[in-house]
Amino acid sequence: MAAIGQRGWHQVICEIRHSFCAEFVLAGRGDAWRSTARGGDLRCDILWIISQPIAMLDDPVLVNDWHVVARASDLRSADGAGDVRAARLLGRDIVLWRSPECLCAWQDLCLHRGAKLSGGRVVNDCLVCPYHGWNYDGSGRCVRIPAQPSQPPPARARATTFRVVEKYGLVWVCLGTPVEDVPAFAEWDDDAFRTVDSGPYLFQAHGPRVIENFLDVGHFPFVHAGFLGDPAHTEVGEYEVETTSDGVIARDIRVWQPDPDGTGRSAEVSYTYRVLRPLTAYFLKSHQEQRFAIFNSVTPVDETRSASWMIMALNYSPETSDEQLRRYQDVVSAQDVPIVESQRPELLPLDLQAELHLRSDRTAIAYRRWLTKIGLRYGTA
């Protein structure tokens, strides 16, 4: 048994109110401990820590959050048929499927002999396993076993289902119980803006490093010279950062940019950044009446891989095609990938003594402090 107070995440049991193996997560750093119950509460007197720290991918903050796993248009449903595809989230294999009746996200596993359901097909609003043809309806229940068509399938023949929603043209999955809605993206519903998706951009890196790169303006003149920055304009001016219970807001960061949006017209722009969730952030870039926003949600694919899904929104330049905007963002993101993948340690250090911070880094400082506060373990050290 480890002692309470040991740094990190642990599985614990409560012997007083619950039987053994009732499971909780106790999280904290230093003195800031908090608890998250799985299937119960923590009103009890005695806790014993019984196991080694929980794997990073079981981080309750992320398990109970929404993550993008596909573009909605990738899952088409046509004329009574449907579509099936595989995805991966927090190290779990997921099957996504759509019929005219439903959109489903399940563990990618058939209960019969463990075949991947993502190899199957949709027939009559059921997902049919590719191995022996078991039929699962939209609730995850097996409703037909072809080898024994006259016998009702056993009650245990039920897929493990996850919550799934479609928003902003993306498919979002939560593996646990979502504590919040999918983050807001105001420009999506604003008729003054058109939206263009881009990505996903794949990083061999953890999500917090990817998000912090997204929040960082100091790298523009070096990594994105000619696009978002210029080596002759390197200074980052003063700006304000506010941290709320919902995240971080950094306002009015002024930057001169040779080509701020792919239209090829230079401008001094003002950024407002928002960290909306541990792995979802947003910026709004303003120049006179022009507004250009990017909503960026980074999916923790597994221990080492992340996928950055972006949606651009702009209220000007109708002559610039969606494809031009996408190509521009592809170039900018391709410039970021090798830098982020090169960063060591791979895990974002939440101890502010571990790396050097400047005043111009205060968005990143606020982000790290906020991650500490909410107890994110994945991708952090």
Between the two ends of the chain, the Cα-to-Cα distance in Å is: 23
Instruction: Answer yes or no whether residue 34 interacts with ligand FES by CB under 6 A.
Output: no
- With CB cut-offs between 5 and 8 Å by kind, which of Fe ion, ligand FES, none does residue 378 bind? none
Distance (Å, rounded) from C-alpha 17 to C-alpha 41? 9
132 binds ligand FES (CB under 6 A): yes
From the list 98, 116, 90, 65, the residue with the least C-alpha distance to 107 is: 116
Q: Per-residue contact track with Fe ion, 344 to 363, x per CB under 5 A?
A: --------------------
Given 336, 348, 350, 379, the residue binding Fe ion (CB under 5 A) = 336
Among 48, 131, 188, 316, binds ligand FES (CB under 6 A): 131
Binding partner of 89, given ligand FES, Fe ion, none, CB within 5-8 angstroms per partner class: none
For residue 157, state whether it binds ligand FES (rule: CB under 6 A): no
Q: Which is nearer to ligand FES, 110 or 122 (CB)?
A: 110
Q: Which of residues 65-124 bind ligand FES (CB under 6 A)?
A: 110, 112-113, 115
Q: Tell which residue, 104, 95, 112, 89, has the closest CA to residue 137.
A: 104
Provide the minimum distance between the beta carbon of 115 and ligand FES in the complex, in angstroms, as a whole number: 4
Complex with ligand FES: residue 132 or 265, whichever CB lies closer: 132
Partner from ligand FES, Fe ion, none binding residue 113, C-beta < 5-8 Å depending on class: ligand FES
Among positions 134, 162, 172, 203, the unique one binding ligand FES when judged by CB under 6 A: 134
Looking at the Cβ atoms of 133 and 178, the one nearer to ligand FES is 133
Q: Which does 112 bind (CB under 5 to 8 A by kind): Fe ion, ligand FES, none?
A: ligand FES
Of 110 and 236, CB closest to ligand FES: 110
| Per CB under 6 A, 42 contacts ligand FES | no
**Interaction partner, residue 275 (Fe ion, ligand FES, none; CB < 5-8 Å by kind):** none
Question: Residue 94 or residue 211: which is nearer to Fe ion going by CB?
Answer: 211
The site for ligand FES, by CB under 6 A, has a size of 9
The option from ligand FES, Fe ion, none interacting with 336 (CB < 5 to 8 A, set by class) reads Fe ion
β-bridge mates for residue 201, sequence order: 308
Torsions phi, psi of 67, nearest 5? -140, 145
- Residue nearer to ligand FES on the CB measure, 63 or 127: 127
Residues contributing to the site for Fe ion (CB under 5 A): 336
Residues contributing to the site for ligand FES (CB under 6 A): 110, 112-113, 115, 129, 131-134
